[in-house]
Amino acid sequence: MLNLKKSIARKGIVGLDIGSSAVKAVELEGRAGQASLTGLGYEQLPPDTVVDGQIMELNAVSQAVAEVFNANQIRTTRVAASVSGSAVIVKNIVVPKMSEEELDESIDWHAEEYIPFDINDVCLDYQVVGAGADSLFVLMAACKRDYVANRRQAIQLAGKEPIIIDVDAFALQNCYEYNYLPGPDQTVALLNIGAANMTIQIVRGTRSMFTRDASFGGNQYTAALQRDLGLTYEQAESVKRGGPAPDGVDEKQIEAIFAHVTDALALEVQKTFDFYRATTDESERVVEKIYLAGGGSKLRGLAESLAERLHIPVEPLDPFRRVRVDARRFDPDYMREFFPEMVVAVGLALRGVEG
Ligand code: ATP
Ligand code: MG
């Protein structure tokens, strides 16, 4: 079961982002347009517990989920979580005009052509997003069934109730829409750079135009530092996060390694933009701006490097731009440090406050 439809307001839901490096939880309260933060948590995961979106160590993940609730006194048990990575397929498809029932009955058949897995092994959901003279535009999302089941199980083992399973890309978009109120013609790319995965979500106004997950993330920088400088994982992580260079290594070498990996990252984004342009017929659909999210986006100088390579403005996406945050309860320095990691969890939590 994937649940993409936004129409139902669900009170009291915790947005839970189970990433490959950490679990993040966000709880919001309030009505549409007036959300305030009531709970926030971050819990590191041991390495290799989640690989390409698949949970390998169910117990480790469910422990981290339980801990993130306990440590931060989050009492709501209803959860909106999400899936990402190569098991997820998101596509805009065109089908002949038909009734709701007809579409519901035939969607598997229409979707089959776009899904590289057996249709019986996937969870599928869709939304009609527009209509032509004799066609319907349908946004469809599918995910391997065992990936979804796996996530639900980890959440249930922690004593929580998975109410919604969404897709990272849509949570990202949800967070952007709520906080930035985009105009109908504004085309932007949302880039969530995690540890192992990068989600590229191209949005025009509030419409999802193109979605792609690439196996690329902060891990690539760490691995390159380890390989080229002979560092341990811990040393490389520390250097990446701005720690002092180990003996015998100078800053120039580090910068060169960063630049090399950023070239590859920019190329992935460029390839996605090119593909998007080639498959969209309206000529004005040029991406105007990139919003960055995810822990991987905190690499120093990354926004500037991407702007230079892709020739468009790049700025961080602030998930709390229009969310009330009480500075007495949530330390502003901590919030500033961790907001890139919280984007998906905020987008998921918003499923509980939007009307
Ligand atoms: P994924 O989405 O790929 O499953 P995730 O959701 O767990 O992973 P995030 O929490 O968004 O990923 O980000 C984790 C990544 O961010 C790690 O690669 C980590 O090294 C990197 N990171 C965190 N802080 C910094 C920093 N200050 N500078 C550079 N990289 C950082
Ligand atoms: Mg992530």
- Any atom of ligand 1 within 6 Å of the Cβ of 219: yes
**DSSP letter for each residue of 178-245:** HHH---TT-EEEEEEE-SS-EEEEEEETTEEEEEEEES-SHHHHHHHHHHHH---HHHHHHHHTTPPP
In sequence order, the 6+-apart residues with CB closer than 8 A to the CB of 100 are: none
State in Å, rounded, how far the first CA of the chain is from the last one. 22
Q: Which atom of ligand 1 is nearest to the CA of 50?
A: 4
**pTM of the predicted model as reported, rounded to 2 decimal places:** 0.96
Q: CA dist 125 to 1, 10, 18, 128, 141, Å? A: 8, 18, 21, 11, 5
**Angle CA 337–338–342, to nearest 5:** 155
Q: Which atom of ligand 1 is nearest to the CA of 302?
A: 29
- Assigned token pair, 250: 């100078």
Closest CA to 82 of 114, 121, 50: 50
* Tens-level pLDDT at each residue, the chain (355 residues): 567 655 444 568 999 999 999 999 999 998 878 999 999 999 999 989 998 888 999 999 999 999 999 999 999 999 999 999 999 999 999 999 999 999 999 999 999 999 999 999 999 999 999 999 999 999 999 999 999 999 999 999 999 999 999 999 999 999 999 999 999 989 999 999 999 999 999 999 999 999 999 999 999 999 999 999 999 999 999 999 999 999 889 999 999 999 999 999 999 999 999 999 988 876 557 899 999 999 999 999 999 999 999 999 999 999 999 999 999 999 999 999 999 999 999 999 999 886 5
44 CA to centre of ligand 1 in angstroms: 10
Name the residue with the closest Cα to ligand 1, atom 16.
295
**Angle CA 146–147–152, to nearest 5:** 95
